[in-house]
Structure 1
Amino acid sequence: MSTATAFEKARAEGRATLVGYLPAGYPSVDGSITAIRAMVDAGVDVVEVGLPYTDPLIDGPTIQTAVNAALQAGTRTPDVLRVVEAVAETGTPAVVMSYWNPLARYGADAFARDLAAAGGAGVITPDLTPDATDEWIPAARSRDLDTVFLVAPSSTDERIAMTTDACRGFVYATSVMGVTGTREQVGDAAAVLVERTRKATDLPVAVGLGVSNADQAAEIAGFADGVVVGSAFVRRMLDAADVDDGVAAVAALAGELSGGVRRR
């Protein structure tokens, strides 16, 4: 399934799409696969598979802790592709969340080829701007992969137009300025940003950075096409006594959030 199909399905059901993130390789490659499958079974519509990287610029301490553990355990890009393949086998779109450096090192064409072969739907590149994508966009287009870029409250209208024009699949709107992490409030800037972004594109707009509970998911679902949750899932895994408890915890959270995006 493509991300476009997932968003269309959710829209037909009168709700927002739930996008859930976990890094590949935490607590192990097999453990991350089990956890992600549990999230899907509990209601996650699109999965962000994090590609562990040594310099995660926009990630807060929660995700950094898990990513570092995955790297220390030896997780590498082929392992990420194995996780993507496992997600794709469930019929759920899998998009890789990756900084540009690991993709450049792997080779843009090679990564696009191998991601497509694994059944991946696309890539979110948080540190790559659309005006610096001479390598990535042609490689992604040649394999029919989504290219998802970020817009922020600080983005000018011109910047939003340029960014959304380069996007395929959906647009990722960051609800706040800053690094990832759960927050008490989503912030009014998110709704304003979604409204501004919709003036520039017909693509679905998903809001992320800070969502941690069903009430926040319901709030965002009232004005956005998708709700992105990352740190809250990772925190459930970090706080668990063992892998089984972690899997149960992320499944429970996915169920709660799934209920949130369905509220009216």
Structure 2
Amino acid sequence: MTTRIDAKFAELKRQGRSAFVTFVMAGDPDEKTSLEIIKALPKAGADVLEIGMPFTDPMADGPSIQAAGLRALKGGMTLRKTLEMVRGFRKDDDTTPIVLMGYYNPIYIYGVETFLADAKAAGVDGLIIVDLPPEEDTELCIPAMKAGLNFIRLATPTTDDKRLPAVLANTSGFVYYVAVTGITGSAAADSKVVGAAVSRIKRHTALPVCVGFGIRTPEVARAIAESADGSVVGTALVDALKGSLDAEGRATARTVTAVADLAASLAQGVRGAKQAAE
């Protein structure tokens, strides 16, 4: 079964260009503004949307994304409301792939079968669950695949050739390569190192490889897009959002455009990689 993710990467391959993948936190800084931002991102050039599911203990996230999750939770965001946002987005856009990214605990509490049915019905295409290793595939990964959702795995600089086949075993949609060791937003990605890592992963899989963590500028996004099938930007967009808020942390007239304008410049960086590579 072809998902929106599969269709999007096939289309980009025909166009000969890399994907621009954006990450924002559901409900940050509030439900209404968050939906407006998500709707604005494809118009700004995002090919795939990653939406964070707010969680109280986000161990892989750096300070910016942790703060975004806390703002969302403070505003009353829940997993159920996150799915409602996806449903709201799908009223106007039935083609842009949506990946929910987060932790297993909220899904476990929601109920795995119910969550997968509700996520699929809302228009979710894939999941990235950072705290479920391949050894736990029966918990969520296999049921998600049976429900028609891609289960996207993270590979890191410490994932060696011995470990990689286990990481890739039930992965679908794309592989998410974490360009820097550590938490999100902690360091800049080195395109040469990333290029070698992407080549190594591609020796083990035919799936697209997208690179995230450490991409903050159009220049870095462009350099990464030379070798990877996609560049993922999260922290920089979340920081742009935060910078637009008022003293009480509420959205202002600038909030949606602050995120969309940065996304547009990053998208141009990614799209520039095709011309540079030709």
For the aligned pair, the TM-score class normalised by the smaller chain equals: over 0.9
Q: Following the alignment from structure 1 to structure 2, what is the Cα–Cα distance between the partners of residues 87 and 206?
A: 23
Q: Tell me if structure 2 keeps the 8 A contact 1:237–1:243.
A: no
User: Aligned AA for 1:130?
Assistant: P
- 2:239 pairs with 1:253: no
Name the counterpart of 2:77: 75
Q: 1:236 to 1:182 in 2, by over 3 A?
A: farther
Q: How many residues align?
A: 264
| TM-score, normalised with respect to structure 1 | 0.96
The Cα of 1:247 is off from its aligned counterpart by 0.7
Q: Tell me if structure 2 keeps the 8 A contact 1:88–1:94.
A: no
Q: Deviations over 1:57-102 (max 9, x none)?
A: 1100001111101111111011110122233341211110011111
Name the counterpart of 1:63: 65
Q: Deviations over 1:177-218 (max 9, x none)?
A: 000016444354322221111011000000000111110110
Q: Deviations over 1:25-77 (max 9, x none)?
A: 11111111101111111100110110000011110000111110111111101
Q: Following the alignment from structure 1 to structure 2, what is the Cα–Cα distance between the partners of residues 73 and 259?
A: 33
Q: Tell me if structure 2 keeps the 8 A contact 1:17–1:225.
A: yes
Q: Tell me if structure 1 keeps the 8 A contact 2:180–2:187.
A: no
The Cα of 1:111 is off from its aligned counterpart by 1.1
Q: Tell me if structure 2 keeps the 8 A contact 1:47–1:93.
A: yes
Name the counterpart of 1:129: 133
- What is the root-mean-square deviation in Å for CA atoms of aligned residues? 1.4
Superposition pairs of residues 148-187 of structure 1, within 5 angstroms: 148-181=152-185, 183-186=187-190
Q: Tell me if structure 2 keeps the 8 A contact 1:182–1:211.
A: no
The Cα of 1:223 is off from its aligned counterpart by 0.3
Q: 1:239 to 1:179 in 2, by over 3 A?
A: same
Q: Following the alignment from structure 2 to structure 1, what is the Cα–Cα distance between the partners of residues 154 and 202?
A: 14
Q: Following the alignment from structure 1 to structure 2, what is the Cα–Cα distance between the partners of residues 197 and 87?
A: 33
Q: Report the identity percentage.
A: 36
Q: Following the alignment from structure 2 to structure 1, what is the Cα–Cα distance between the partners of residues 39 and 96?
A: 9
User: Aligned AA for 1:244?
Assistant: A
| TM-score, normalised with respect to structure 2 | 0.91
Superposition pairs of residues 179-218 of structure 1, within 5 angstroms: 179-181=183-185, 183-186=187-190, 188-218=192-222
Q: Which range moves more in the overlay, 178-187 or 115-124?
A: 178-187
Query: Any gaps of 5 or more consecutive residues in structure 2?
Result: 246-250
- Which of 131, 146, 162 is the matching residue for 1:142? 146
The alignment partner of 1:212 has SS state of coil
Q: Tell me if structure 2 keeps the 8 A contact 1:170–1:206.
A: yes
Q: Tell me if structure 2 keeps the 8 A contact 1:153–1:177.
A: yes
- 2:50 pairs with 1:51: no
Q: Tell me if structure 2 keeps the 8 A contact 1:123–1:148.
A: yes
Name the counterpart of 1:33: 35
User: Aligned AA for 2:232?
Assistant: V
Q: Deviations over 1:114-170 (max 9, x none)?
A: 100001101011121111121212321221100001000111112111111211100
Q: Tell me if structure 2 keeps the 8 A contact 1:152–1:193.
A: no
